[in-house]
Structure formats: C-alpha cells, structure tokens
Chains A and B, each alone.
Chain A
Amino acid sequence: MSGTVILFLALYYVVVLGIGYWAMRHGGSEDLEGYLLGGRQVGPMATALTLQSTSMSGYMFLGAGGLGYTQGYWAMWFAAGDIGGGVLNLSTIGRRMRKLSQMFGALTSIEYLENRYPSPAVRVFAGVLTVFLLGFYVLAQLIAGGKGMALVTGLPYPVALAIAVGIILIYTFMGGYLAVAYTDFFQSLVMLVGVLWIAAAALIELGGLTAANTAIAEFDPTLLSIWGKDLGFEGQWGVALGAVLIFSVGLLGWPHVVTRHMAMSKPATARKAGMWATAWNLLFVPTPYLVGILAVLILPELQDPEMAIFEIAGLLLPPAVTGLVMAAIMAAIMSTADSLLLQTGSIASRDLYERFINPKASERQMVMVSRGLVLAIAVIGYVVALYEPPTVFAIVIFATSVLGSAFLPAYFCAVWWKKANTAGALSSMIVGAGVAFAWEVAGMVETTQMAPMTAGVASSITTMVVVSLLTQKISPVPAHILVVMDEAAVVGPIPKTLIAASDAALSPEAAAIDAKLNGGDGND
C-alpha cells in the first residue's frame, strides 16, 4: 500500500489523538460526570453524529458491504432500519431521558435503570449482561480495526491490531466521553466523505446506477430481488421485519446508544439532534450496502466478501483519496470501538465496582478505576482478537439482538409508562435476553422464519406489560419516581444552577407543596 495512504491515515490518527488531548484538558476527566458524560454539555450536532457513528460500526464497511455483495438488494432491509434508528431514538426517549437521568443523578444507562426500577437485581443483571455483550461487540470492532489496518499498511495482523487498539485506547483513556463524542463527530464527517467517494467511483466505473442494475440482472437477477440471492429469504417477512427492527427500534435498547441522551447539553437538544441525525443517515446509510452490491460486478471473484469496500477503494481510487477513504473506514470502526470501550469500562466501574464492591470510592478514585477498566478491557480484547475470529457481521448481529431484546421495553417504558415497575422490567430483561439468545443458538430462524430480534422484542414487551400489570400491588412504582416522570414530561428547561444543587429526594414534597401553592390541598 502506498506511502500516501499511510500518510493520510497517520494524519487522521494525529487529529483524533489531538481531540483526545483537548478533551482531557477541557474538563473531560476532572470528575466522574465529566469523564463518563462529558459534563452533560454535548450540543445537538455532536450528539447526533456521536449517536449515529457509535451505532454505525466497522460493520458498515465490512458487514454491510459483505451483505450487499452476497445478498444483493435484500441488504437494503437493514438500511431501511438504520436510516430511522437515530431519529426514532432521539424523538421518543431523548428529551425525557435527558431530564430524568439528571434528576436521578444517574451517570450510566444501567444506573439509570436501577434508579427507575429500584432493585439491586436490576443493576446486577443489566450490568453483567451489558458488559458481557458489549465485550463481544468491542471484540468485533477491534478485529475490524486490525483487519483494516493490516490491509492498508501491509503490516502483520498482530502489529496492525496493536496499533489500532493503541490509538483508540489512548484518546479514550485520556478524555473519556468528551473525547469519544468529539472524535466521533470528526470521524462521522470523514466516514460520510469517504463512503460517498467510494460509491461515486464505483458508479462511474459501471456507467451509472441504471447500467449497473442492468449488468447485475445479467450476472444474477436474484440479486435485484428483495428476497436475497437465489430468493433464499422469499416470503420470510419475519426475517425482513427483524432486519428493519434491529437497527431502528433495536437502538432504543442499546445502553451505549441511549447514553448519548444523558450527555446532551439540555433536553431541547434532542429535537435538533434528530434533524442532524436524519440528514446524515439519508446520505450515509444506504451507501455501503450499495457499494457492496456494485462490487459484485467490479470484483466478481472476491474471496472474502467483507473486504468488498476495502478492495474497491484500493482498486478504483488514487492513493490520496484512498488514504482518505481508508481513514473513513478506520473512523467507522474507531467511532464505535471507543464508545463501546468507554461504556463497558463505565458500567463495570460505576454499576458493578462502585455499587457493590466499594461504594465509598471518591470521585478521583472512580475516574482512575474507570480508566483502569478501559485499559484492561482493551488489553483483553486485543489478546482475544489475535485468535481466529468469526465474521464481524455475525458477532454484531448476535450482540445487538440480545441487547435490544433485553432492554428496549425497559428504556422505553421508563419514560412513557408509569405502571412499568421493577418486577416487570427485570422479568422483561431476563425473558428478552433469554429468548433472543436461545433463538439464535437453537437455529430457530429457519424453522420459524422469524429473526431472533423479532422474537426477543415481542417476548420482552409482552413480559413487561403482563408482569407489571399483575404485580402493581406487590411492586408499586415509588411515588417519587412518578413525580420525577411528570417533571421529565414537561417541555422546558430548569434553571441550571438549581439543577446542580437540587435534591431529587425532595421531589415528592415539592410536588405536594407546588399543588398546595397552586390552590389545591397538596394531596393531588
């Protein structure tokens, strides 16, 4: 690979490391709220792009391209879900979760769940499950980073992997969430430019989209179908629905994505962020799948379909642009890896270590523990990634299916349904995760024609509703939570200085006094 490509990559790495250093110097690591949530000061554009780039992992440049290459236009079911995921997330739970999480004083998405559904069991189950699954997800990203780096530089895989992991680790370690959010912002712009450039080059090579589709029809007409190669998924609406759900609705259940809501500068940021997310998605999301589809014509004998986009870039683009595109590919991988790494470290430190092992840890100690766990997870991930890995696509789909199935009802109902109680939430998490896991492991997709995500989400929603309604008397939602939910529903800011100092435990008294002052008897 040419020196120009490597130069561009090196330049990209210098920029992200610079952002990490800037974040560290600008409050990204002063206290725990600064390290884990960027001091809750992230604006709408950065919120939108960190949310999108976090959910758009190396999968978009490996798995999506590979899926387009092997299954043709069937892959666009996944794109359909992806396009709406961010705006759906921000518009349905963004604003309320932002307010609710601050009133609870929650610093992680798992702590937020325990605050809303009070029980140590919620924290234990959610924390352990999330660390376990995000660990797999991190692994997938590190593998993608190592593969990409090896392809670009020609270095042996272990060395390339070490460089990729090392860069991600350094800026995440230094600057925490602020570094992650702003590098994601930069990386999402690089991703967008890069993928659009590859797509343009591929379309020019093939004489345009119409000419390309005509050529695909001659090569293998089933690739133009929405049912996949050889019409393998014909009539399987359950699988198609699962493909749409996983990246749209499923995002509502991903702890590393919903954390973005908690870090927004104010609740009103959600609306603007939704607009930015939509704009970016419309341009970015369908493109890698399309490039994969077009690659069938340009590289018909590709050994590893997941390398389709990499190979197209190397083949069609001049070295300078290839360097930018390679940076874009690495950006997609790193923008997810850093978020996952930080989330896994945060949850392990705040939700497991501080909550159950050392509740008296100081802020300074907690920042150090969080950093230490980020380092440990990166090192373990590196060691595991050195061994023969399965495909990135399979790992990501598995982890995200189980996460979405487990947590979607819990996060959604936390802000929208006052009857969602601890028993309902815990049961739905266990059932959702269990069903999605069993569905995948037992190979139920073929027999039922239903994706694990579809089955998992249906099960967890049903469980949440049934168990919550049946257990209202024995597991009532605490009064202070109902009050805080009402406050979170109100559209409007709270004076910043008061929020910083206000005691959420006084919410029930505040509501009663407010009612009395407004002419009630205080007992509404």
Chain B
Amino acid sequence: MTDPQQIVVIRGAINATDALCVVASLTGDVEATVESEMIYPYYCLDADCSVPTMVGRKQLSMICLVDAVNGLGATADSFELKKETVPNDILLTSDIDAAEAEKIAHRTVTHRLGKKLRTISTFDVRVTPRGLIHKRFWIVKTSDARVMVDSTTGSLHPLKLRAA
C-alpha cells in the first residue's frame, strides 16, 4: 500500500452502487461487480472572456478543465469540490505542467467561443488557474469487458477492448 495523498476531488452524484446499476442494466450482466476506482487529474481554470456583439462587448465566464494526462481541454459546468485522502495506487499522475495547461485552456476557450458564436473575431480571453482537481471513475467488471463510469455524469466507456 503506497502513501495516501490529500487531494481535491469533484463531488460526484454517482456512487459505486449507482455505477454498478448503470452497467448491469445496460449489459444485463447480473455478475457485474465494482472492481476498483481510479482518480483522474485535471487542471481547473476560470476563463473570463470579452466577446464582440452588435451593441458592444459582452462579458462571459466559463470553467475550463484541462486533462492533466493527455493535455486535452474542454469547458465544463460548475461543480462542487471536496478534500479527500486517497492512496497513490489509484491516483493517476499529471504529465502536463500548469503553464502548459494555461495555454491549452486559452486555446480551448477561444476555439469554443469561435464555434459557438460562428464569427471570425478576436476574443479577449483571460485565464486564471485554480489548481489541480480530480475526478473519480468507477471501474466495473462484467463478463465481456471492464467499464469505467464517470462519477459526476454517469457516462461510461469500455476499457480493455482487446479482451472484449
């Protein structure tokens, strides 16, 4: 057992039992079990944007999460956070530093606004880092596959496709 770490985790609505129910109902596999959990790191940044409109500039705020392992950015809905102590063996380590995360967040928000507003304009985007947060994924084992279930949304994705 490795040393535990105190981290900040997004408070998820989906607990282990809920995750098991989601997967079991989809697959019909009554033997499905929750095998483990994994804690995934993200950089959380606040983005404040000034966008042009017909009647002047409009201020928009949004949250941007940057995947600290893969460097992928996405905007996110608001969420609650809580402190937890978790063992190291279920915690993924980040591969992206904070400075890089800021650049990714800036690019993500700019691209998102461009797509949403369908304009070719420049936006004034300021990004403020909030630090590293984490999300819990439940790992459910069925007879066909292993599945990870997002503890905040209940979305799922198969793991180990080769074994399916």
Residue positions of A touching B, CB distance < 8 A: 120, 356, 478-480, 483, 487, 490, 492-495, 497-514, 516-518, 521-523
Interface of chain B: mostly helix, strand, loop or mixed: mixed
Interface string of B128-164 (1 = CB under 8 A from A): 0000000001010010111110100101111111101
Question: Nearest chain B CB to A507's CB is how many angstroms away?
Answer: 7
Q: How many A-B residue pairs have CB under 8 A?
A: 107
Q: Which residues of A contact B153 (CB under 8 A)?
A: 503
A508 in contact with B27 (CB, 8 Å)? no
B38 in contact with A494 (CB, 8 Å)? no
A513 in contact with B139 (CB, 8 Å)? yes
Cβ-neighbour of A480 out of B26, B38, B70, B115 (below 8 A): B70
Q: Which residues of A contact B115 (CB under 8 A)?
A: 120
Question: Nearest chain B CB to A91's CB is how many angstroms away?
Answer: 22
Residue of B nearest to A504 (CB): B157
Given A497-B26, A498-B26, A498-B27, A514 contacting B160 (CB threshold 8 A): yes
A495 in contact with B164 (CB, 8 Å)? yes
Q: Which residues of A contact B40 (CB under 8 A)?
A: 509, 512-513
Cβ-neighbour of B69 out of A495, A503, A504, A508 (below 8 A): A508
CA distance A523 to B160 in the complex (A): 16
Q: List 16 A-B contacts (CB under 8 A).
A: A483-B70, A492-B164, A494-B164, A498-B158, A502-B155, A505-B74, A506-B155, A506-B157, A508-B67, A511-B70, A512-B40, A512-B69, A514-B160, A516-B38, A517-B36, A522-B93
| Total B residues in contact with A, Cβ cutoff 8 Å | 36
Q: Which residues of A contact B150 (CB under 8 A)?
A: 503, 506
Q: Which residues of B contact A512 (CB under 8 A)?
A: 40, 69-70, 92
Interface of chain A: mostly helix, strand, loop or mixed: helix
B157 in contact with A495 (CB, 8 Å)? no
Q: Which residues of B contact A479 (CB under 8 A)?
A: 67, 70-72
Question: Nearest chain A CB to B15's CB is how many angstroms away?
Answer: 18
B124 at the interface (CB under 8 A from A): no
B84 at the interface (CB under 8 A from A): no
Residue of B nearest to A476 (CB): B71
For residues 62 through 117 of chain B, which have their beta carbon under 8 Å from a beta carbon of chain A? 67, 69-72, 74, 92-93, 95, 115
Q: Which residues of B contact A521 (CB under 8 A)?
A: 92-93
CA distance A504 to B159 in the complex (A): 12
CA distance A238 to B137 in the complex (A): 57
